[in-house]
Amino acid sequence: MSGSHSRTKGHTFERWVAKQLRTIWVNAKRGYQTRGGTQEQFDVEGTPFAIECKVGKQPNIRAAMRQVEAACKGKPPVVVSKVDRETPLVTMHFNDWFDLVAAVYGKVESNDSVQEVQ
């Protein structure tokens, strides 16, 4: 697959993610990035999360998480990834996921109750 085709596929996936999130956050949109290695925005803007999108044959989720963690600016980092012809996945830190689930199910407690993994 050519580089331009890969970029187009990635941009299309970012637009798809933004469109899905727009049903919850009306300002969700694909972020503006440059090809020079500097990133002005996240892949998807207008949400309370720092979102990095990856799509392809074998997206590197851990590298994507490191990338979004380095730029998250205090927002919970999230990776939305999709292996070709498979269902998209969401990856986030356990403590962020725990807080989200606790808030949704009415058990708003500090993640202090989450113990460190040994």
pTM of the model: 0.83
- The band of 78, judged by pLDDT with boundaries at 50, 70 and 90, is very high
For residue 37, being part of any structural domain is answered with: yes
For residue 108, being part of any structural domain is answered with: yes
For residue 97, being part of any structural domain is answered with: yes
Coil, strand or helix at 59: coil
In angstroms, the CA 28 to CA 80 distance is: 14
> Does an H or E element contain 96, and which?
helix 94-104
| 17-37 pLDDT tens trace | 999 999 999 999 999 876 555
For residue 118, being part of any structural domain is answered with: no
Flag whether pLDDT at 54 surpasses 90: yes
For residue 61, being part of any structural domain is answered with: yes
Coil, strand or helix at 100: helix
Residue range of the domain that includes 40: 3-113
The CATH number that applies at residue 37 is: 3.40.1350
Which residue shows structure tokens 């990338």? Answer: 67
In angstroms, the CA 5 to CA 38 distance is: 21
pLDDT of residue 111: 54
Task: Count structural domains, the chain.
Answer: 1
